[in-house]
Amino acid sequence: MKKIKEFIWPVIGLGAVVVSVYLLWHLLKGLSFADVKASLAAIPPHRYALAVASTLVAYGALAWYDRIALLHLGVKGISWLFVSVCSFTTYALSHNIGASVFSGAVVRYRAYTSKGLSPAQVAVLVALCSFTFGLGTAFLGGLVLVLEPELLQRVASLLPPVLASPTTARLVGFGLLGFVALYVIGSILHFRPLHIRSFKIEYPRPNIMGRQLIAAPLELLGAAGIIYFALPEVGNPGFLVVLAVFLASFSVALVSNAPGGIGVFELVFITAMPDLPKTDVLAAVLIFRLFYLLLPFALAIGVVLLFERGRLADALRNKAKSPDTVPPPPVDGPGITPDLHDVKVRKAV
């Protein structure tokens, strides 16, 4: 059963990619590469610069996730540079690979154990970073659904009618905000750990919780900003709409378990932007993939190779300094004086 479960999620992810690409092909049928290229060329340079700045904000906030988790663990002495590089590499790989054996958890384990953290501490760090992201998604998603519940109608074709209803959307929004409020109250009042099956949520100190509520929304705002600035100014539905569509698209892509959310993210986002030309929306999504996913992925591979090369070099140096063979004990012979302790042992025998 365990081996079967290991294959279930990859199969689900592959199936999500196949179905989404098929639906996306029908959605974009008739578009040409020249049209998309023209849309990319039409984006002004200053908006490209703003998209790059949004990317830096997003990855800076992701590095803050790790820093917050280290503060929660009481770990000090690890530089911001190391934490930032580790976080960048982790998310650049996990965003693109998805639920792979070579995941962000493995990268964090390799990096932080080299700084003295135990496997249990790394596990808590990974869990808290994941929860921080979920907390930010719940907070922003709840606000958007409460303030603009009709936004879900943009993806009504992909949802059951009851879920696309503004009333249902607002109720879901209040539920998400209620979850965040419970977490905040539990942290302030030091509630007992919350048990959900085998998962246990320990409420962090209020200063940690406050940082989570800033870092997570900041990361999501930065990521959504990449697409917002890549969309044309004429006909742009506004940042709130782009943020809502981004949260929905990104969440569905994560749940689908598709590597990098490929196909799934594009399908939901383009479907939810019917007022803009499809070529312009597709161009904005491609900019997002380039800045937030592909370029960081290429850099992350280089970082991993350099890190592992350094670890291997250290291991070889340590092996050279401490030879494996133990020198044989001295033997009696001409010109050799036996150790006094050795003589006593022999007499006793």
Residue with tokens 């904000």: 57
Contacts of 304 (CB under 8 A, 6+ apart): 89, 93, 107
266-320 pLDDT tens trace: 888 988 898 898 899 999 999 999 999 889 988 988 888 887 777 666 666 766 6
Please give the average per-residue pLDDT across 5-15, as a whole number: 55
- Pair 219, 133: CB distance under 8 Å: yes
Cα 206 to Cα 9: distance, rounded to the nearest angstrom: 36
- Neighbour-count burial for 211-221, b at 16+ CB within 10 Å, e otherwise: bbbebbbbbbb
DSSP 275: T
Cα 318 to Cα 26: distance, rounded to the nearest angstrom: 59
130-157 pLDDT tens trace: 899 999 999 999 999 999 888 888 877 7
Q: What angle in degrees, to the nearest 10, is found between the helix axes of 2-27 and 239-256?
A: 140
DSSP letter string, 123-163: HHHHHHHHHHHHHHHHHHHHHHHHH-GGGGGGGGGGS-HHH
168-186 pLDDT tens trace: 889 999 999 999 999 999 9
Residue with tokens 């109720």: 171
63-116 pLDDT tens trace: 999 999 999 999 988 999 999 999 998 888 888 776 543 456 788 888 899 899
Kindly calculate the radius of gyration of the chain based on its CA atoms and give it in whole angstroms. Answer: 27
229-267 pLDDT tens trace: 999 988 888 999 999 999 988 888 887 767 767 778 888
Please give the average per-residue pLDDT across 206-211, as a whole number: 94
- CB count within 10 Å of CB 292 equals 23
Output the pLDDT for position 160. 74
51-77 pLDDT tens trace: 999 999 999 999 999 999 999 999 988
Cα 177 to Cα 173: distance, rounded to the nearest angstrom: 6
User: Helix or strand or coil: residue 312?
Assistant: helix
- Neighbour-count burial for 19-36, b at 16+ CB within 10 Å, e otherwise: ebeebbeeebeeeeeebb
Cα 17 to Cα 21: distance, rounded to the nearest angstrom: 6
DSSP 261: G
Task: Tell me, rounded to whole angstroms, the distance of Cα 28 from its chain centroid.
Answer: 29
Residue with tokens 């790394």: 122
Output the pLDDT for position 305. 84
4 or 181: which leads in pLDDT: 181
Contacts of 67 (CB under 8 A, 6+ apart): 80, 83
Output the pLDDT for position 345. 39
Across the chain, the runs of DSSP E, i.e. the strands, are 194-196, 199-201
Output the pLDDT for position 347. 40
